[in-house]
Chain A
Amino acid sequence: MAEFSVIGERVPRVDAREKVTGEARYAADYSLPGMLWCKLLRSPYPHARVLNIDTSRAEKLNGVKAVCTGKDFGGWTWGWMSSTRDESPLAVDKVRYMAEAVAGVAATSEDIAEEACDLIKVDYEELPGVFEPEEAMKEGSPSVHDYVKNNISVEYHWDFGNVEKAFSESYIVREDRFRTSRATHGYVEPPATLAYYDPSGYITVWAAKQSPYFHYRHLSACFKLPLSRVRVIQPFIGGGFGGTKNDSLGGDFCSVLLSKITGRPVKYVESMEEELVTSRRRHSMIVYSKMGVNKDGILMAIHHRVIADGGGYTAIGPLSLYLAGFATTLPYRLPNFKYDAYRVFTNNPIGAAMRGHGVTHTRFAAEIQMEMIAEELGIDPVEIRMRNAIDNPEPGAVYETINKVLVKTCGIKEAIQRVADAPLWRDRNKVPNKDGDISWGVGLSGTSYLGGARQMGHQACAAIIRICEDGAVNLITGATDCGQGSDTVLCMIAAEELGVRLGAIDIKRVDTAYTPVDPGSYGSRVTILAGQATQKAARQAKKQLLEAAARNWQVTPEDVEIRHGRAFVLSDPEKSMPFDRLARIACYSGTGAVILGTGYSTYGIEPLDLVNGIGNGGTSYSYTAQSARVGVDMETGKIITTDFTIASDCGRLLSPLTAEGQIEGASIQGLGQTIYEDFIMDSGKTLNPTFLDYKMPLSMDVPAIKLIDVVTDDPDGPFGAKEASEGSIVSAPPAVVSAIHDATGVWFKELPVTPERVVQALKNRKNKGASAAP
């Protein structure tokens, strides 16, 4: 293994000091002189025609400066693909989910803007709504969008091998219906923006976006300005996790339009209730899973039929359904696979991306179903996984799945074995499994996730390294740290490559006027792709420094090295100088010498094949095995989670403190969607729109977490790195549900496993003697 001086060190985050002192400024912390406040009027109906909007009373209210409605955007719409541009900044003819925005107001205070919204009179013609995806896809259901038949928003049919033949030759074939919860990201920072439309035709916004270049393109297209006139300046971001902060929202467009109308800056901060009722949340998916295995428990075939609640618009849904399919062939060998997926429009809030995107649904179903089959066959949960798990390819070798996903490193077997050997699993039968009303259980899972997600359009990340004459280094990328710690990781990569200390690197946050365009922070892309770009930029800058040093010492550049902030001659280490001196020499050598290194990523350039589902969805793949211990109160159904052991193959850990925090945090977010979190919906209305009622894990709820590093060295990642954290949000639900089964004897196939569902299932079992939950 190569020796590193910065990579692998337990260094604090580069932005930590600003965050613990309160100096870090988030979008809502920005203000400008003369600033107005924007508020939106939202629909009280989930499905209704907008007949007329009368804004005259609002406009007369003292302090109101401008009002806008959907028509003011001139028919402009946006969407993730050119064929799915079905959303307008404000509803024009029709609202398709409750609380969809219909009008925007700019006023001198937030209170006045809110009061003005109440004065806008909208005439609606209420339409019959449809709220269950399986209902919505039936012939004759109310149509959410006229341009599609039976509300089918996205549809894929992939077929690899011959599943029918494999099922007919299987020893056991199981068919089960699973359903995942209506979960959301739950960041504590609500979406916010401060916008200024300069009358000379420039837009500047400070917006809470985890992928600011999406927003940059949306604003350019909406306001018909060249990209050079759209400036998105990145504040600190208070959490992202995909979905909402990866897209543009009604309030974003209205703030810019209202600024254009008034000539004044306009600020928009969503209330948490608005956020919770409209967030572009994780899809709730119904997974009909059919799995066949032979007598030894070896997987023969899987057929997944997935029906996803898409809500009112398409958003990033085509990718969600792709991800729910392509990764089913990992982390176990699967010779036959069929996938029929339907994303269905309903009059619910929009289904979109969330950490563990797509994969979490189908992997949950497949993991639980494999456990059910293992139970039938009398095979140990570890054993059935080890028999099926993909082996780690020899260096240089590649394992190809039936759908042509290429695996170059795979630590799943080591991860499962190390979790099985850890005390939580190993000693599970040595502790009492009953304690009064509490029944204890331990469960296990083995899962995979992708890093360096591919997409349809712009793929590469870029970076610029600028060496200052005093030895300081600017790292300029288009990547966004929305909390995951990528700024720290990128600085570490730059420091390692240049041979300087971490403190010498200063990373700039995104400003689309100056930073290179970047796809965004999603699909665990940043470490791998912006990381590779940073590595290349640093190497290019270093090459120029080595050449300057070589000229100075009259040796060849190959004979010079820089380490720990000093340059020296390899063949004569007595000849050395500090990095800052070399920087000055290099910058001053020749008139106007500028030491700039640039680089862009080249991993994973081939675009996604959404239609056929063939090929890679990511650049590389992480593997996670997890065990969990829970106690179930057999009277009240309440579940407590005491322990997690998580073994992660994240390639090489570049920044252990950052990666650990990511893995821990994601596993708790995964716990949330397994036993706590669910939007309670009644005909499109969210009945639990506050953090009090949408219950996320608190400090009292979380287990003790033990982490195990499984180190692989992936050829398609900087220093061998793969993704960290999306793996453990996928591994947590099946591990926890297996543990609940171990405690109760009941398989729960619908998430979240709430106390009500536990009590009901135990009651059903008592009545019927059956072992399956409804």
Chain B
Amino acid sequence: MRETEGSPIKQVRLTVNGKAYGLDVQPGKTLLELIREDLGLTGTKEGCGLGECGACTVIMDGKTVNSCLVLAAEADGKQITTIEGLADGDRLHPVQQAFIDHGGLQCGFCTPGMIMSAKALLDENQNPSDEEIRKGISGNLCRCTGYTKIIESIKAAAGNAGGR
């Protein structure tokens, strides 16, 4: 997105990982840019910038979004969770732990987005079938794993993730 000279700056209030922020943003700024550049939360990745790879997936008001496609201004008043907001202190979220234990990651670049999609899936459906898991992460590209161990990780997490 290009910055437009003289365009009005908008004030955005949002909650990210439980913390409230008020920020002045340019109209063209995306939620991804706000998260990475303004808040310095670089766990959320930019892969394609076109909503095709899912690396920038975050949870906005309970639903996953490609943060590269959401304007920062649209996130006004929203609750956002990023990968940095999943662990409870040193205690990892069950999905994070399952990805570690079951080899659900390799290079790690798609991992934050993948884990956010998995978490959102398990929040809605505590006991998904294989098919539902595949569907739940069908917007997230992974080139390293071939998805097999990601699916196994999410299945393993399903038993332990309820209520978090």
Partner of A12, one of B45, B49, B101: B101
Q: Are A239 and B107 in contact (CB under 8 A)?
A: yes
Q: Are B47 and A189 in contact (CB under 8 A)?
A: yes
Chain B residue with Cβ nearest A115: B2
Q: Are A188 and B149 in contact (CB under 8 A)?
A: no
A669 CB contacts on chain B under 8 angstroms: 143, 146
Chain A residue with Cβ nearest B145: A665
Q: Are A700 and B146 in contact (CB under 8 A)?
A: no
Q: Are B111 and A19 in contact (CB under 8 A)?
A: yes
Partner of B141, one of A112, A188, A661, A662: A188
Q: Are A17 and B100 in contact (CB under 8 A)?
A: yes
* Most chain A beta-carbon neighbours within 10 Å: one of B92, B112, B142: B142
Tell me whether B82 is interfacial, beta carbon within 8 Å.
yes
CB distance from B106 to the nearest CB of A (A): 4
B111 CB contacts on chain A under 8 angstroms: 19-20
> Binary interface profile of B, 44-77, with partner A (CB < 8 Å = 1, else 0)?
1111111011010000000000000000000000
Tell me whether B144 is interfacial, beta carbon within 8 Å.
yes
Q: How many residues of A contact B (CB 8 A)?
A: 62
Q: Are A23 and B47 in contact (CB under 8 A)?
A: no
Bound complex: CA of A46 vs CA of B141, how far in Å? 30
Q: Are B3 and A702 in contact (CB under 8 A)?
A: no
A21 CB contacts on chain B under 8 angstroms: 43, 83-84, 86-87, 92, 96
> Binary interface profile of A, 451-479, with partner B (CB < 8 Å = 1, else 0)?
00000000000000000000000000000
Q: Which secondary structure characterizes the binding site on chain B?
A: loop
A379 CB contacts on chain B under 8 angstroms: none
Q: How many residues of B contact A (CB 8 A)?
A: 56
Stretch of A92-100, A311-319, A691-699 contacting B (4+ beta carbons < 8 Å)? A691-699
CB distance from A63 to the nearest CB of B (A): 10
Q: Are A661 and B49 in contact (CB under 8 A)?
A: no
Inter-chain residue pair count (beta carbon < 8 A): 177
Q: If the complex has contacts A16-B100, A22-B41, A661-B145, are A188 and B109 also in contact, measured as CB distance less than 8 A?
A: yes
CB distance from B95 to the nearest CB of A (A): 8
Bound complex: CA of A125 vs CA of B6, how far in Å? 39
Q: Are B103 and A660 in contact (CB under 8 A)?
A: yes
Tell me whether B135 is interfacial, beta carbon within 8 Å.
yes
B88-143 contacts to A, CB under 8 A, are 92, 96-97, 99-103, 105-112, 115, 133-135, 137-138, 140-143
B109 CB contacts on chain A under 8 angstroms: 26, 187-189, 236, 238-239, 483
Give the 9 A-B CB pairs with smallest separation, nearest first.
A22-B43, A483-B107, A238-B109, A668-B146, A19-B108, A22-B83, A29-B42, A272-B48, A691-B52
B residues at A contact (CB < 8 Å): 1-3, 36, 41-50, 52-53, 55, 82-84, 86-87, 92, 96-97, 99-103, 105-112, 115, 133-135, 137-138, 140-151
Q: List 17 A-B contacts (CB under 8 A).
A: A22-B42, A22-B84, A109-B3, A186-B141, A189-B45, A189-B109, A238-B45, A239-B107, A239-B143, A484-B106, A657-B103, A660-B149, A661-B106, A690-B48, A691-B52, A698-B138, A699-B135
A residues at B contact (CB < 8 Å): 12-13, 15-26, 28-29, 109, 111-112, 114-115, 185-190, 236-241, 269, 271-272, 482-485, 657-658, 660-662, 664-669, 690-692, 696-700, 702, 704-705
